[in-house]
Amino acid sequence: MSLITWGPQLSVGINSIDEQHKKLVNMINALNDALAAGEGKEMLGKIFNGLAAYTTKHFQFEEDLFAKYNYPETAAHKKEHADLLKQVGDLKAKMDAGNFMISMELMAFLKSWLTNHIQGTDKKYVAFLTSEGVS
Ligand SMILES: [Fe+2]
Ligand SMILES: [Fe+2]
């Protein structure tokens, strides 16, 4: 069973963004499956790095929209993104140094971070961006 199941509760109703969120969900699920299958740290690290890179790209996509339309809650939203990327960067550094490994606790953290962020923080921009014609 997948760690995160995509459903209407995760949709923000803006196609481009839903597609990116689905990809993030799939990548987290793939990492969880690899962990459960007992994959080694090289494979897990590779999937984690891919997830980190795509997360960075997705955050940039949202932040570019905020800048383009002058979204009033940009600062608080960007801070949430930056805080997560900082944590991910720290984990990557620890992994590279051999001091940290992907775990079920990390997977639970990623799941709750992503679902809470989409359902709370991301959903806040929907009415604003939709009113600016973003779809
Ligand atoms: Fe976001
Ligand atoms: Fe998002």
The alpha carbon of 38 and the centre of ligand 1 are apart by a number of angstroms equal to 31
The alpha carbon of 6 and the centre of ligand 1 are apart by a number of angstroms equal to 17
The alpha carbon of 122 and the centre of ligand 2 are apart by a number of angstroms equal to 6
In a domain, 67, yes or no: yes
**DSSP result, 37-71:** TT--HHHHHHHHHHHHHHHHHHHHHHHHHHHHHT-
**Residue located via tokens 């969120």:** 21
The alpha carbon of 98 and the centre of ligand 2 are apart by a number of angstroms equal to 30
In a domain, 117, yes or no: yes
The domain tally of the chain equals: 1
Domain with 108 in it: what CATH number?
1.20.120.50
Provide the residues around ligand 1 (an ion) whose CB is within 5 A: 62, 122
Q: What is the pTM of this model?
A: 0.96
In a domain, 1, yes or no: no
pLDDT tens digits in sequence order for the chain, 135 residues long: 899 999 999 999 999 999 999 999 999 999 999 999 999 999 999 999 999 999 999 999 999 999 999 999 999 999 999 999 999 999 999 998 988 899 999 999 999 999 999 999 999 999 999 999 998
Q: What is the pLDDT of residue 61?
A: 98
The bound ligand whose nearest atom lies closest to the alpha carbon of 20 is 2
Structural domain of residue 119, as residue ranges?
14-131
Tell me the two tokens of residue 38.
Answer: 């007992």
Q: What is the pLDDT of residue 112?
A: 98
Q: What is the pLDDT of residue 22?
A: 98
